[in-house]
Amino acid sequence: MLVRALHRLEQATGLQLPEVETLAASVRLVQLREREFAFHQGDHCPRLFGVRSGLLKQFYTTPDGKEWIKSFTAEDELFACPLGFQPGGRTSFGTAALEASVVEALDWRLVDDLGERHLAWQKAIRFGFQALSGLKMVRERDLLMYTPEQMYQHLLDSRPGLVQRVPQKELAAYLGVTPVGLNRIARRLA
């Protein structure tokens, strides 16, 4: 999955990334049971993950145990916490499987080393962080400018399969409402 993502990046940008096969040899498969963590909030985790199968949530946990879901990742999508890439860095959120999942894990330091040695990898890393920045800006805009009902409608329009797979409690935490509030929103939009 990670290697396929790199090949898609090469095709989209015209880059030719050296040593992709060397990197591919370092990819590790990780099977996660439902509710099992890929990493916890506060972990040292300098890894980039790609979802081969399954569904995961990325979320913040408050000191009193409340979860605020920032994103979901499904098949052929990537996730990581870039704060964990830094030497001594810790993840600011956790990632857990919402269903049995298989993810590919790659040590970020290997990618970073390729960026130190090859201009094409520097560009690929830049494109990756630009894409991440774009996703974060959309989420920020949605939270600041749209009602939970508008965000739910957007999810229904843009990712209907995801809405079907994500438990209502988790979807409510993503939208910033209670499960009862989400139920009311869903009834109004039906």
Question: By the 8 A CB rule, do 155 and 163 touch?
Answer: yes
Domain assignments of the chain as residue spans, ordered by start: 2-135, 146-190
- Distance CA(102)–CA(28), nearest Å, equals 10
Tell me the β-bridge partners of 78: 50
Is pTM beyond 0.75 here?
Answer: yes
Quickly tell me which residue has 């988790």 as its tokens: 170
- Distance CA(163)–CA(167), nearest Å, equals 8
CATH superfamily, domain at 2-135:
Jelly Rolls (2.60.120.10)
If you ran DSSP here, which 8-state letter would residue 15 be given? -
Regions of the chain where pLDDT drops below 70: none
- Distance CA(29)–CA(178), nearest Å, equals 35
- Distance CA(190)–CA(187), nearest Å, equals 5
For residue 118, what pLDDT is reported? 97
For residue 67, what pLDDT is reported? 93
Closest CA to 127 of 78, 163, 76, 184: 78
Residue-wise pLDDT tens digits, 143-176 = 999 999 999 999 999 999 999 999 999 999 999 9
For residue 70, what pLDDT is reported? 97
For residue 190, what pLDDT is reported? 86
Q: 129: buried, middle or exposed (CB in 10 Å: 19+, 13-18, 0-12)?
A: exposed
